[in-house]
Structure 1
Amino acid sequence: MTISPSLPMRDGVGASAIQLPEGRWDSVLDFLLAQFPGIDATTWRSRLARGLVTDAQGQALAPDSPCQAGDRLHYYRELAAETPVPFEAEILHRDEQLLVVDKPHFLPVVPAGRHLQETLLVRLRRQLGIDTLAPLHRIDRGTAGLVLFSLDEASRGAYQALFARREVEKTYEALAPSLQGQAFPLLHRSRLEAGEPFFLMREAPGTPNSETRIEIAQRRGARNLYRLSPVTGRKHQLRVHMAALGAAIVNDDFYPELRPQAEDDFSHPLQLLARSLAFRDPLDGRPRRFDSRRQLLAS
């Protein structure tokens, strides 16, 4: 499944596209029920009736429309209910090329799984009316702080290349227990691989593929405010590295052990903040730096 750029946005959400695999179905509805067993026939009939499922040319399909292997369908995702995230993002900077946003905790950057309307990208598209808005990178849902978006499709690739070449200096802050007997700055390297369940990461034997520079920004008794500078950008890298050192980030529900999943506790955000981003602009060569205005817990 991919996002289709050929169809218009609906309420800030782009159309997804899927190509029918080998098989035989009597109708579009039959295929959709087989492909998405978690969505019932009543829901699909409603979406079809509202024109939310189309063929490759954007023509609305009916429940009994024929289909066959190789056909390409477009559909708009909907979620029956989403828990509202009671925090707002702040726009820090906007020019012709870039939008710099200070994201709150708990808000995902892009739609995925059970998050659709309650995501930073969809909120911004609706707020600004810019359907072509696209994030240049991502941070975890639980992490607050800076996210850069591209406003201009023509220059987007140049900014994406900065991240791909690791030419963006990223600095994070984390509140975590004090580490005794460690000399700082500390450079932690390890090999990160997919863990269990699938959404977790773990350190594993082998050649390191992740690296983080760790410094103390402020001592706070039993806890420190750490300054984290990821050299690489592996999934959950900072969280795994801090937990592996014996200083799991405050309010981390994933590391070092997965806590029972429940509704978000908005009073206990993960104490991890994407503090700053710095780079040399690929269009004019000038140095640029952006800083979050958010603060982690006082203690």
Structure 2
Amino acid sequence: MESSKLLRNAQTQHGDASSVDVENIFLHRHMLYTNPTSDGNLHDREDSPECVWCPDDKDGSPAESKDPPISISEEKSETQSKEVLSEKRKASSTDDEGHVKKVKLEANSLKTKRPGFSDERYDETSYYFENGLRKVYPYFFTFTTFAKGRWVDEKILDVFVREFRAAPPEEYERSLEAGKLTVNSEKVPKDYKIKHNDLLANVVHRHEVPVTSQPIKIVYMDKDIVVVNKPASIPVHPCGRYRHNTVVFILAKEHNLKNLRTIHRLDRLTSGLLLFGRTAEKARELELQIRTRQVQKEYVCRVEGRFPDGIVECNEKIDVVSYKIGVCKVSPKGKDCKTTFKRIGEVGSDSIVLCKPLTGRMHQIRVHLQFLGYPISNDPLYNHEVFGPLKGRGGDIGGITEEQLISNLISIHNAENWLGLEGDQIVSGEIKDVAASTSVVEAPSVVQAPINSETEKPVISKNLEPSNDATAQIATQTCYEEPDRSFDSKKTTSDPQCSECKINYRDPGTKDLIMYLHAWKYKGVGWEYETELPEWACNSNIDYDKV
């Protein structure tokens, strides 16, 4: 859900960038793989979660043409002309103008609800637990955006086929015929030509990616702040394929903690301390402390091999190789960076390492450990041969260019490997093609082979048979309600035009949900918080009290 914003910041483990599910770079693989030269669609921005079609402009307004500079006399003449035109506009038909203004005001009213969400948003659907996972019943959701300047006078179907590759042309044509894809809340023919300020809306059937069923534990809470222990696999806020399966939604729906302000972020696969402001003032105060490096952060991780004795300091600069897929590496042209490491224990052939990032760069701990030759044991990105025979140790990526590195990262994780499909589960070749061509807007689940941790056998999720009733009763969940303890077929929705309703996805296994990196302690000006350690970091030989 990420042609799009030209430059995209990525979610970091230290909270100085924007909202992207970057620890699994293959979330957006489909469009990038089929069209490597495309900019991709960066539509999972925190500041506009319900807008899926705003490639370039932050506010979704039509693109404006850039005129050459004008002289003072020309400017005066132009001002007089504008006054005349203004009078003419007032005399023109007010019906269309009023309608456009009404549409725009309605859209603007949505923005006033950010960063919080309305109860209507929370009640879109509900959760259920299955196979140790928190799952979301599929639900209908409306994406909206105002027409881009370059779309004006073009046929609506041509625009969607060219710019939004989440579905094949036939699906957009069906959506127009069924009235799911509308303009200014009205059904239009496929040859409708887009006008300035048109409000486009598309109703989609959303299937969210499962996350762990482990609860989000509240470490501390008062009138100004909420501190939680985030389990691995749950993103902080809506992004990509995640919406209800996010920390902010779960806290709102199960703890009535709404309108929380994000102070910093953790990668989806990273667990540990996460701070939210309950007031704007407190959020700004703690954000400033983090930005000015007044906060001491301690992480615990598990790395490959025996880490050296004593304190190891890494000062290598880190550069972002690609914002689109969220990949970094050590580079002289990068930003200053500093992390200290200390081995505090061992688990088999692995080492438990205490990490203290003194700066807050994207993927800082993971990239520095990769450079030192001791990558996190189960890091799906930085502990991979795609970085060369040495896996990026010492900055060696096998003599390839950054462009080739990105291409390799995308190509080795194609749809067949990561969709978790079995041959007899694919309804038809057409469905397979649809999945393979899906863009980042609605990319399928990013999981490897599904493994049940107890049986070590593949686990297949329930098949939600499509029904003829695409407007089935939606299961909602309001505050304090417990998720269902098992799947309830009566609470689900289906859409006969939804390709994902026709495909069985494998459940992610334990190895797909956890990365051995945990935010353990944060200490700022006048405050200090600490979480309990995850199971993988617990060892009788480690005395954490002396760390």
TM-score (norm 2): 0.46
Could you list the runs of 5+ residues in structure 1 that have no partner in the other structure?
56-60, 281-286
Indicate which of 2, 6, 11 corresponds to 2:121. 11
Residues 315, 339 of structure 2: 8 Å contact kept: yes
CA apart distance, 1:140: 0.7
CA apart distance, 1:211: 1.3
Indicate which of 312, 323, 340 corresponds to 1:186. 312
SS of the residue 2:121 aligns to = coil
Aligned to 1:291: 530
Measured in 2, the distance between the counterparts of 1:133 and 1:75 equals: 28
Indicate which of 262, 272, 275 corresponds to 2:517. 272
Matched letter for residue 192 of structure 1:
I
Residues 318, 334 of structure 2: 8 Å contact kept: no
Bigger mean CA offset, 233-242 vs 63-72? 63-72
Measured in 1, the distance between the counterparts of 2:206 and 2:226 equals: 27
Alignment CA distance shift 1:267-1:220 (3 Å): closer
Measured in 2, the distance between the counterparts of 1:240 and 1:125 equals: 34
Measured in 1, the distance between the counterparts of 2:204 and 2:365 equals: 32
Measured in 1, the distance between the counterparts of 2:245 and 2:196 equals: 34
Aligned to 2:279: 152
Relative contact order, higher structure (CA 8 A, sep 6+) = 2
1:272-293: CA deviation from partner (whole Å, max 9, x where unpaired): 100011111xxxxxx2111111
Aligned to 2:231: 104
RMSD: 3.5
Alignment CA distance shift 1:34-1:227 (3 Å): same
Indicate which of 353, 356, 360 corresponds to 1:233. 360
Residues 208, 243 of structure 2: 8 Å contact kept: no
Alignment CA distance shift 1:80-1:47 (3 Å): farther
Alignment CA distance shift 1:69-1:129 (3 Å): farther
1:193-240: CA deviation from partner (whole Å, max 9, x where unpaired): 223683221112346522111112224453221110111111111111
Measured in 2, the distance between the counterparts of 1:63 and 1:252 equals: 47
Residues 179, 187 of structure 2: 8 Å contact kept: no
Measured in 2, the distance between the counterparts of 1:177 and 1:116 equals: 34
Residues 213, 230 of structure 1: 8 Å contact kept: yes
Residues 211, 234 of structure 2: 8 Å contact kept: no
Question: Is 1:37 aligned to 2:165, yes or no?
Answer: yes
CA apart distance, 1:154: 4.0
Alignment CA distance shift 1:167-1:84 (3 Å): same
CA apart distance, 1:247: 0.9
Alignment CA distance shift 1:15-1:232 (3 Å): farther
Measured in 1, the distance between the counterparts of 2:194 and 2:312 equals: 58
Measured in 2, the distance between the counterparts of 1:231 and 1:44 equals: 53
Alignment identity in percent?
18
CA apart distance, 1:75: 7.8
Alignment CA distance shift 1:100-1:244 (3 Å): same
CA apart distance, 1:97: 0.9
Measured in 1, the distance between the counterparts of 2:200 and 2:300 equals: 44
TM-score (norm 1): 0.79
Measured in 1, the distance between the counterparts of 2:301 and 2:286 equals: 27
Q: Judging by fraction of residues, say which structure has more strand.
A: 1
Aligned to 2:186: 62
Measured in 2, the distance between the counterparts of 1:80 and 1:176 equals: 34
SS of the residue 1:216 aligns to = strand
CA apart distance, 1:100: 0.6
Measured in 2, the distance between the counterparts of 1:177 and 1:265 equals: 21
Aligned to 1:283: none
CA apart distance, 1:184: 2.3
CA apart distance, 1:116: 1.8
Larger radius of gyration: 2
Alignment CA distance shift 1:129-1:193 (3 Å): same
Matched letter for residue 520 of structure 2:
R
SS of the residue 1:190 aligns to = coil
Measured in 2, the distance between the counterparts of 1:183 and 1:106 equals: 31
Measured in 2, the distance between the counterparts of 1:207 and 1:80 equals: 38
